[in-house]
């Protein structure tokens, strides 16, 4: 292997020695600016180029792993520290314990870029091109693994930053968010490749722009009017029994004032089991929905015996139908074995949901086939795919009031952009506090409500049919792309 060229003295102090982990940590923190609400997507390749150099200059795999972990810790502490809000402000956990739990959670997430860094330096090939392929492939595999292990937590996968208006978004319908992670890392490595690297970067961007001119799916059926209801009920008030009647009246009045063929209320809009909601109230909602021969989709817990589900139930012109959330949030909606003590520290209502069946067909509502997902489920693009061939619309019902006025609201909308882009379907989001929005099949946000306001988003939406390459292959395309990059880097290494 040929020796690595030495950096300039000033830069060398940042890339080597005791300053390198701090440089990586700060770069990771700055990487948060690449995601919503800041959406400086162009920044991530430059920061990844810096990390690429930090890994190349490391004295062994352990040092590269520490630098990767430092980058990850900066990214996740800056980007998902809103977990602290849910544990402390709304979960009732003592502040020091909530801070420690958040730190440990972010440290766990940082293990994945640490693993990528260690493997990169351990198997470092000669030649910048091969190193770039290894760098990109390992980042994609690390994000894929993080999105799967222990039920997965793919929040802030690098590819989410490349939602529209990024030129790389054109690759989303082909390879999904993890493919965009790979291409983002590859773009960063290209920045260090001189004239050839910059030429490769230009080809990468031009390809993304060209793919954005293509339509992978086509319009189907009639345009449907929709009303997406944002109740804006504070999380610390939501479950108070004395507020129950006011909540019922609020949602009834919002629905009554905004007639549409498809009306969607947020996740657990009604803080009571469906069987305990007054029947005359449900009859009134059904009558309101049928004004335009339409349907209403209501987020409400449902139960049978000792089991209960986080559900969406329809009322209106179509027969009553139900979707129940299948991918539950660890510690928020179910307690993993051995963690019963957690319930004694965090008072989270309804933290023992049962998982809904897999798969569940779309709901036939308002002349559309509606594939429902509830809150956290839209992080897992592959899990939405079984319903996509029949679906014409995607609907996400969320309550992110748990995270207060944090980055979580805008980040979650950016995740929805990728789900729409991957499937070529519009995504309708009805949320409690934000961000309630309509996302087009091309991943562009067509309309959005101001978060933390009580309002209804009215829009006209066209259903879509057909399948994107991602809808056919799921994450297999990104996995094969990553393995191909690793294979090319390894073959080159063996030849040397």
| Burial degree of 84 (CB within 10 A; 0-12, 13-18, 19+) | buried
Distance CA 212, CA 210 (A): 5
Distance CA 173, CA 150 (A): 27
Is 267 annotated as catalytic? yes
Answer whether 469's CB lies under 8 Å from 477's CB.
yes
What lies within 8 Å, CB to CB, of 147 at 6+ separation is 153, 154, 157, 178, 379, 380
Per-residue tokens: 261: 């063929």
Distance CA 337, CA 150 (A): 12
Answer whether 474's CB lies under 8 Å from 381's CB.
yes
| DSSP reduced 3-state for 228 | strand
- In angstroms, how far is CA 488 from the centroid of its own chain? 30
DSSP result, 303-347:
EETTEEEEEEEEEESSPP-EEE--SPPBTTTB--TT-TTHHHH--
Is 383 annotated as catalytic? no
| Burial degree of 475 (CB within 10 A; 0-12, 13-18, 19+) | buried
Place of tokens 């804006």: 232
Catalytic residue among 190, 325, 333, 377: 325
Distance CA 432, CA 187 (A): 37
Distance CA 119, CA 432 (A): 43
Place of tokens 């957690």: 342
Place of tokens 């000669």: 126
Distance CA 24, CA 157 (A): 17
Distance CA 290, CA 296 (A): 9
Pairing of strands 322-324, 295-304: unpaired
Catalytic residue among 106, 190, 238, 267: 267
Cis bond before residue 261 (omega within 30° of 0): no
Q: Which strand (E) or helix (H) includes residue 206?
A: helix 194-212
Per-residue tokens: 404: 């207060």
Per-residue tokens: 411: 């980040």
Distance CA 290, CA 272 (A): 24
| DSSP reduced 3-state for 439 | strand
What lies within 8 Å, CB to CB, of 253 at 6+ separation is none
Cα–Cα nearest to 269, from 433, 92, 458, 426: 433
Catalytic residue among 333, 375, 422, 485: 375
Which active-site residues does the annotation give?
267, 325, 375
């Amino acid at each position: 292997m040929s020796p690595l060229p030495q950096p300039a003295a000033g830069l060398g102090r940042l890339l080597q020695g005791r300053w390198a982990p701090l440089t990586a940590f700060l770069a990771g923190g700055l990487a948060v600016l690449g995601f919503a609400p800041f959406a400086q997507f162009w920044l991530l390749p430059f920061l990844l180029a810096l990390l690429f150099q930090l890994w190349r200059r490391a004295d062994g795999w352990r040092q590269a792993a520490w630098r990767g972990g430092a980058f990850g810790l900066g990214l996740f502490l800056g980007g998902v520290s809103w977990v602290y809000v849910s544990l402390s402000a709304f979960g009732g956990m003592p502040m020091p314990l909530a801070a420690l739990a958040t730190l440990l959670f972010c440290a766990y997430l940082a293990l994945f870029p640490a693993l990528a860094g260690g493997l990169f330096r351990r198997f470092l090939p000669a030649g910048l091109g091969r190193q770039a392929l290894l760098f990109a492939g390992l980042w994609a595999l690390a994000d894929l693994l993080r999105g799967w292990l222990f039920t997965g937590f793919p929040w802030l996968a690098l590819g989410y930053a490349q939602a529209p208006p990024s030129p790389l978004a054109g690759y989303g319908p082909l390879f999904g968010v993890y493919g965009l992670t790979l291409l983002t890392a590859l773009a960063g490595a290209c920045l260090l490749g001189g004239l050839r690297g910059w030429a490769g970067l230009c080809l990468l961007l031009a390809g993304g722009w060209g793919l954005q001119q293509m339509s992978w799916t086509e319009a189907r059926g009639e345009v449907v009017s929709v009303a997406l209801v944002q109740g804006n009920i504070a999380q610390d008030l939501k479950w108070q029994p004395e507020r129950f009647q006011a909540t019922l009246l609020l949602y009834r009045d919002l629905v009554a004032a905004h007639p549409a063929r498809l009306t969607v209320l947020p996740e657990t809009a009604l803080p009571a089991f469906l069987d305990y909601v007054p029947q005359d109230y449900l009859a009134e909602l059904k009558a309101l929905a049928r004004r335009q021969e339409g349907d209403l989709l209501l987020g409400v817990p449902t139960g049978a015996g000792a089991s209960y589900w986080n559900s969406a139930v329809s009322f209106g012109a179509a027969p009553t139908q139900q979707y129940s959330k299948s991918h539950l949030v660890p510690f928020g909606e179910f307690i993993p074995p051995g963690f019963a003590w957690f319930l004694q520290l965090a008072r989270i209502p309804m933290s023992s949901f049962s998982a809904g069946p897999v798969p569940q067909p779309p709901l036939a509502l308002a002349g559309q086939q509606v594939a429902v997902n509830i809150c956290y489920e839209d992080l897992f693009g592959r899990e939405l795919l079984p319903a996509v061939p029949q679906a014409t619309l995607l609907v996400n019902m969320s309550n992110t009031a748990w995270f207060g006025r944090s980055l979580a609201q805008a980040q979650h909308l950016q995740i929805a952009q990728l789900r729409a882009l991957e499937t070529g379907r519009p995504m309708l989001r009805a949320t409690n506090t934000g961000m309630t929005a309509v996302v087009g099949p091309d991943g562009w946000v067509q309309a959005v409500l101001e978060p933390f306001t009580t309002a209804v988003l009215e829009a006209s939406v066209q259903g879509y049919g057909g399948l994107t390459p991602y809808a056919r292959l799921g994450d297999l395309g990104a996995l094969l792309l990553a393995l191909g990059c690793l294979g090319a880097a390894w073959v080159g290494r063996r030849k040397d």
